[in-house]
Structure 1
Amino acid sequence: MKKTLITAFALSASLAYAQQKETDRFQQYQPIWENGTLAQKDSLASVLLSEVKTYKTEAEYRTTLNLLHALGHEDQMASIEAVAKKKFPKGSLTRDAYLHEVYYKLETTSEKEKAYRELLKKWPATKFPGDELTYDYAIATLAGSYAKDGNASKATSYLSEMKERFWRGNGYLPVAQTLLAAGDTSSATPILKTVLDDAYYYITLPEEEKDNKARFASMGYAGSMSTYVNILVNQGKYTEALGLIEKALQIAPEQGDALSNVYYKSLMATGRKLEAYNILTKLYTKGQFNVEPDLKAVYADLNGSMQGYEGFNARLKEDLVKSIQDHIKEMATFKIAPAFELLNLKGEKVSLASLKGKVVVLDFWATWCQPCIRSFPGMQAAQAEYANDKDVQFLFINTWERDKEYKKNVVSFIEKNNYPFEVLYDDQKDAVTGQVMAAKYGVEGIPAKFIIDKEGNIRYFLTGSSPNVDYIKMEMKELIESAKKPYKG
């Protein structure tokens, strides 16, 4: 037994050293793959390709594949990957290819379960110490499939196999939400409680112990709390719900916005109407107009009638517009927008030059980007408002896709959701720098939106998103109308 433990430790230490060495090699070339010229990138790619025959470890192959991707030489990756997979048939590259090319594309739960067992048979998790997250992703996918089938027992059983506590909430929460949507509250509740307890554990760690994993896990606290408290609210357990919310606000006050909806409902139900009123007015002045029925009810209770409500409501909307106007000042910039000519879903060329004389809204997004997708209903509403304005053009720039069949996936996504968007593929590389359009615009994270004026100047740049349709619609209106006006410096 002792010998086995020593061997396992040595393997783990050896892998950790190899991974660190390759991470260092990747970072060594960062100036080139990030800011180098096309000639420099091509030169580095040639050097890497000439070195491949000397590689002795899978880590070396993986680093070179990552570098070729960063350099924009994806067309040369397949042959190298094929050599690596043949040389290391039981290695992580072959395993990852199996997951992405087979496992994640299966549709039925029975197929996924069979493929998962094959995964564990060919590539046991014990052979890849420190790589538990890869297996947790696979487990979460299978558990989610069982939840959609209504098999809560199997879904819960597979969830229990997950190893990475900091990440498992990402597998647990979707399963719980699926079960809740199907009306299975009894199965969903303990799953949510686990997510909540995990997030609470990481959020309450001493500051000196909080690493990136802890910060990541803490981010799920408001979401799991909101879902869990919603169950209590729906069950009429308002006092219990209030206790949990106020405990959450004590240890994580920064997550107050995410808990606002369940908080005001609990306050209303327990008779604390003035506090509920204060939260409701804040939500309304952030563009959450869907709370207006509750706002009216509390207003009437506190004032004894609806007298004066219309004026009150108008002032709230004025405050919202003023808040948005102040906010967009922080996004203001002024620089010439890089030129582009990209293909749309029909294969037609669309260039920035052809749109001169229009205000152009660019929205960089990807099919895997959930914040991008959450903002789409709001962007659709904003586009609809300008449907008859020939001086405004919305363009949705699809970028950073990870799948080889990205074009097919993009078309499917747009058609499935019936979005009336003009989508352009960001896959044309600059002849000098080798950069795609997102890089030329300085995009470091998506969603990213640019408002370009009629003369071709970037007037506003914003990142992040909101699921709030009304707020996005109002914010876009302020940005577009401001960009229509001459720049004053």
Structure 2
Amino acid sequence: MMRTIAAAVLLTLGAIAGQLQVQPARPQSGKPIEFNYVADAEYFSEPDSVWLCIYAFDDSRFYPTAWDIRLERKGTSYRGTFSAVPSDAVFLLFRIVSGREYDDNRGRYWDALVWNGSTPKIGAYFRQAISYLGQGASGLPSVARRADLDRAKELLQRSIETHPDHLPTKFAYAGVRFDRGEISRSDLDETLQRLLQLPWDSTNEMQVRSRSRALRLLGRDSDAAELERHYAERFPTSDLAEEVERAYCAAARTPEEFRDRIRRFAERFTSSPNAAKMYTDLVAYYLQQGNGDAAIATVNSYPVPPGVTSSPPPALLNMLAVTMVRQDSLLKLAQQYIEWAVRALETENLDAKPRYVAPCEYRWQLRELRGICYDTWGYVLYRMGRTDDAIEAFRQCEHLLGPFASGDMLEHLSEALMAAGRREESLAVARRAIATGRAIGPTVMRFLQSSADTAAIRAEYESLRMQARPAKLRRLRQEMLAQPLLEMQFRRNDGSTFLLGDAVLTTLDGRQISLRQLKGKVVVLDFWATWCGPCRVSMPSMQKLYEKYRSTSDVEILLVNCWERVDDRTEHVRKFLASNPSYTFPVVLDLRDEVVSGFGVTGIPTKFYLDRDGVVQFKEVGFPGADVFIEEASDRIDLLLGR
């Protein structure tokens, strides 16, 4: 039976860290920039379609304006020219993109200040500094540079030296010094109060944001909200106005009130992806409540600009079709919605692209969503008994996504072909999935059961798996995060600070260990809680993984208990393990929940894989299923071991 169909976009692969050269080193407004990017072409699944994304920040708006240039292969390098630096840009961030794969220099990105002659433009050092404050500083996952408070402070100091009257710099500098533990809370409050008395430009969004943040830090939330509301009224299409409207939507007290507010949001901000996301959240809520009629009514009420032949967002239509397809009585309606989505995606409409998304990124998002919708369409047709039509839809999905088609998508095609009596075609798809490292359990089983000669088919399977090894290693290298989290400093509620590597984990017999003590080993941390259902489901697989590496002295697997809602966590965990005597893996307690917070965990189970230097290289959220977990976890551990 077909397992899953995608209701949203697929996951994005990680960074690979090639080398990017930028000429001139001091870009000027209105002048061209030349780029030379060097990386092993084998890192990309589509090496002839490589783009450079340019995120141009100005000194007024919060979000950047995104541009792109297609890079041409020249021997072992990729080259391209950006025709002219935008006149209002003060700072540029760069990353390389190829389909779903990208290179963001291991989270560091590449960058350039924009210069006026021999001096950086006003706000250049400030925007560069802000980029080192993490995703919250940019608001966008696509430009979430790895946080570095030391670098941010250094750049803010340069900004003050070159442009001493730049007000947002002064606010940010005070905040960074406080975060670094250099000034007390009372010193911070005094500094912010003084800065709020200085003259400021009420038409500059960055200055408004700086004042608003200062007011909130001082506990004056209502004054901050009034400041933001007033700016949003004056500049109703600004980035801040959109955020104010989103906050208004989030404050709705009932689903019906939320529906009315997000409709207004979608009418005002027609190119914002947040409109579709909020509609999707509401539809998901109605579906979870079993209120299909309300979900359908919500989708049908999505506002379409006057004079535009359009539809609700295809992702929303796809989500509804995915939910309906499992009920025979709703198959016709599911078919209607998914065909509506497919038709809507036939035309590439870049007018709906958000300003901060590069054209190549947006085109890929549309291509990926189109592939997902074809997969859903095929599944609907298959459920309706139209197998030949389903096969064509599944083939179109693979054609669109190419090497990025998931194992589930290939399984759908293989199963439909087998059901249609096209055995050899089905097995050809299975071979392709296995040889590229994308095969899931049912695909493998179908292949292994396809011949009575079990020895021969097993030998062919192992040969195909060996072919998949380079592709798997490439994907693993792309996923590597290279995040030195253990060296990051955090602040406790009492104001004291600590390095994550020095945070304490406690064994069940009371011994205390720190992650820094485990340097020299490959470490797997699995954050879990006794009340977490998916955590418990994953534990038999964690036990098998532990048994596999138990005798390997330079591998440490730790299950880190966190977020328990009991008074005596140690005794509670002891009782849990006593009732599950087959679990012999090491368990430690994050008694103050400092480690789980430092790693930025928002849901469990979440696993982190650290290399011998204590650097986080892989992160896995949730549990992919026993049939794939052991193999994927082993591949990651072996890569970090250098095997």
Q: TM-score under structure 1 normalisation? A: 0.63
> Cα–Cα, structure 1 residues 462 and 143, in superposed 2: closer, same or farther, change >3 Å?
closer
Equivalent residue number for residue 353 of structure 1: 516
1:236 equivalenced with 2:385 (yes/no): yes
> Cα–Cα, structure 1 residues 313 and 474, in superposed 2: closer, same or farther, change >3 Å?
same
Equivalent residue number for residue 316 of structure 2: 171
- Residue 271 of structure 1 aligns to a residue whose secondary structure is coil
Give the Cα–Cα distance (whole angstroms) in 1 for the partners of residues 290 and 315 of structure 2.
19
Q: What's the CA shift string for 1:346-383, capped at 9, x where partnerless? A: 99975213435753125799xxxxxxx9x989975652
1:136 equivalenced with 2:276 (yes/no): yes
How far did residue 230 of structure 1 move?
1.3
1:282 equivalenced with 2:426 (yes/no): no
| Larger helix share, 1 or 2 | 1
1:393 equivalenced with 2:557 (yes/no): yes
Give the Cα–Cα distance (whole angstroms) in 1 for the partners of residues 345 and 504 of structure 2.
44
Equivalent residue number for residue 422 of structure 2: 272
How far did residue 281 of structure 1 move?
2.8
Of the structure 1 ranges 251-260 and 276-285, higher mean CA displacement relative to structure 2 is found in 251-260
> Cα–Cα, structure 1 residues 471 and 462, in superposed 2: closer, same or farther, change >3 Å?
same
1:29 equivalenced with 2:192 (yes/no): no
How far did residue 262 of structure 1 move?
1.9
Equivalent residue number for residue 253 of structure 1: 402
Give the Cα–Cα distance (whole angstroms) in 2 for the partners of residues 175 and 473 of structure 1.
33
> Cα–Cα, structure 1 residues 64 and 452, in superposed 2: closer, same or farther, change >3 Å?
same
- Residue 219 of structure 2 aligns to a residue whose secondary structure is helix
> Cα–Cα, structure 1 residues 471 and 168, in superposed 2: closer, same or farther, change >3 Å?
same
Equivalent residue number for residue 10 of structure 1: none
> Cα–Cα, structure 1 residues 469 and 356, in superposed 2: closer, same or farther, change >3 Å?
same
Equivalent residue number for residue 295 of structure 1: 447
Give the Cα–Cα distance (whole angstroms) in 2 for the partners of residues 275 and 146 of structure 1.
41
Preserved CA contact (<8 Å) 1:344 1:424: yes
Equivalent residue number for residue 159 of structure 1: 299
Equivalent residue number for residue 38 of structure 2: none
Give the Cα–Cα distance (whole angstroms) in 2 for the partners of residues 194 and 49 of structure 1.
55
Q: How does 1:192-211 map to 2 (within 5 A)?
A: 192-202=338-348, 210-211=359-360
Identity of aligned residues (%): 12
Q: How does 1:176-195 map to 2 (within 5 A)?
A: 176-183=321-328, 184-195=330-341
Equivalent residue number for residue 94 of structure 2: none
What is the identity, as a one-letter code, of the residue corresponding to 1:392? Answer: E
Give the Cα–Cα distance (whole angstroms) in 1 for the partners of residues 413 and 599 of structure 2.
43
Preserved CA contact (<8 Å) 2:375 2:397: no
Preserved CA contact (<8 Å) 1:359 1:451: yes
Give the Cα–Cα distance (whole angstroms) in 2 for the partners of residues 310 and 203 of structure 1.
53
Equivalent residue number for residue 115 of structure 2: none
| Larger strand share, 1 or 2 | 2
Give the Cα–Cα distance (whole angstroms) in 2 for the partners of residues 241 and 197 of structure 1.
16
How far did residue 320 of structure 1 move?
2.3
- Residue 348 of structure 2 aligns to a residue whose secondary structure is helix
Q: How does 1:318-397 map to 2 (within 5 A)?
A: 319-320=464-465, 323-324=468-469, 327-328=472-473, 331=477, 338=486, 340-342=501-503, 351-355=514-518, 359-362=522-525, 382-388=541-547, 389=550, 392-394=556-558
The match for 1:145 among 271, 280, 285 is: 285
Preserved CA contact (<8 Å) 2:382 2:390: yes
> Cα–Cα, structure 1 residues 31 and 290, in superposed 2: closer, same or farther, change >3 Å?
closer
Equivalent residue number for residue 368 of structure 1: none
Equivalent residue number for residue 461 of structure 1: 617
Of the structure 1 ranges 89-98 and 287-296, higher mean CA displacement relative to structure 2 is found in 89-98
Equivalent residue number for residue 461 of structure 2: 316
What is the identity, as a one-letter code, of the residue corresponding to 2:339? Answer: K
Preserved CA contact (<8 Å) 2:371 2:400: no
Give the Cα–Cα distance (whole angstroms) in 2 for the partners of residues 227 and 423 of structure 1.
43
- Residue 461 of structure 1 aligns to a residue whose secondary structure is strand
Equivalent residue number for residue 224 of structure 2: 84
Give the Cα–Cα distance (whole angstroms) in 1 for the partners of residues 203 and 264 of structure 2.
19
1:113 equivalenced with 2:256 (yes/no): yes
How far did residue 153 of structure 1 move?
3.8
Give the Cα–Cα distance (whole angstroms) in 2 for the partners of residues 266 and 202 of structure 1.
30
- Residue 325 of structure 2 aligns to a residue whose secondary structure is helix
Equivalent residue number for residue 5 of structure 1: none
How far did residue 113 of structure 1 move?
0.9
How far did residue 112 of structure 1 move?
0.8
Preserved CA contact (<8 Å) 2:299 2:312: no
What is the identity, as a one-letter code, of the residue corresponding to 2:298? Answer: Y
Preserved CA contact (<8 Å) 2:317 2:337: yes
Equivalent residue number for residue 473 of structure 1: 630
- Residue 197 of structure 1 aligns to a residue whose secondary structure is helix
Give the Cα–Cα distance (whole angstroms) in 1 for the partners of residues 590 and 201 of structure 2.
39
How far did residue 289 of structure 1 move?
2.6
Q: TM-score under structure 2 normalisation? A: 0.50
Preserved CA contact (<8 Å) 2:524 2:558: yes
Preserved CA contact (<8 Å) 2:367 2:400: no
Give the Cα–Cα distance (whole angstroms) in 2 for the partners of residues 479 and 132 of structure 1.
37
Give the Cα–Cα distance (whole angstroms) in 1 for the partners of residues 544 and 467 of structure 2.
20
> Cα–Cα, structure 1 residues 280 and 191, in superposed 2: closer, same or farther, change >3 Å?
same
